[in-house]
């Protein structure tokens, strides 16, 4: 049995969650684009900024996993369960996540990007 460090665990979670987050935000952007909102541009700009932050974080996670020699394989199953196998230092470990767990993690991460991420707050601090 092996134990991942906190940094490695965070990178594995980001590698798993951020593609789903990106997909959700892109679907929301399409929905806003085709809706009859009077002012869709500020919402789309906010979503684009969050997507770019998520892409940066995903690149960083991939970089950490590559530098540590960790391989992650994700399998979708028919039973609404995602199986994630992590290969590290000659060992492997399997994690199982339900779609509800992933949805909750994606929702928490979106809220964190919108409410608490200082990088986003710095980008949106323009004078009118």
pLDDT value for 106: 94
In a domain, 1, yes or no: no
d(CA 21, CA 73): 18
Please check whether residue 104 lies inside any domain of the structure.
Answer: yes
Summarised one tens digit per residue, pLDDT across range 21-35 is 999 999 999 999 999
Please check whether residue 43 is in contact with residue 50, taking contact to mean a CB–CB distance below 8 angstroms: no
Find the domain containing 61 and state its range.
Answer: 6-123
128 occurs within a structural domain: no
Count the domains in the chain: 1
The per-residue pLDDT for range 78-111, each reduced to its tens digit, is 778 888 999 988 888 888 888 899 999 999 999 9
Report yes or no on 80 lying in a domain.
yes
DSSP symbols for 64-109: HHHHHT-EEEEEE-TTSEEEEEEEETTEEEEEEEEHHHHHHHHHHH
pLDDT bucket at 127, cuts 50 / 70 / 90 = very low
Question: What's the distance, Cα to Cα, between the start and end of the chain in Å?
Answer: 56
């Amino acid at each position: 049995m092996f134990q991942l460090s906190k940094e490695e665990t965070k990178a594995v979670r980001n590698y798993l969650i951020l593609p789903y987050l990106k997909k959700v935000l892109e679907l929301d952007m399409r929905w806003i684009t085709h809706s009859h909102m009077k002012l869709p541009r500020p919402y789309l700009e906010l979503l684009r900024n969050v997507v770019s932050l998520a892409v940066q974080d995903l690149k960083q996670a991939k970089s950490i996993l590559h530098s540590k020699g960790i391989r992650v394989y994700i399998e979708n199953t028919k039973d609404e369960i995602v199986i994630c196998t992590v290969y590290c230092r000659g060992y492997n470990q399997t994690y199982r996540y339900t779609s509800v767990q992933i949805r909750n993690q994606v929702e928490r991460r979106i809220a964190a990007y919108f409410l608490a991420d200082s990088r986003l707050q710095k980008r949106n601090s323009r004078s009118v």
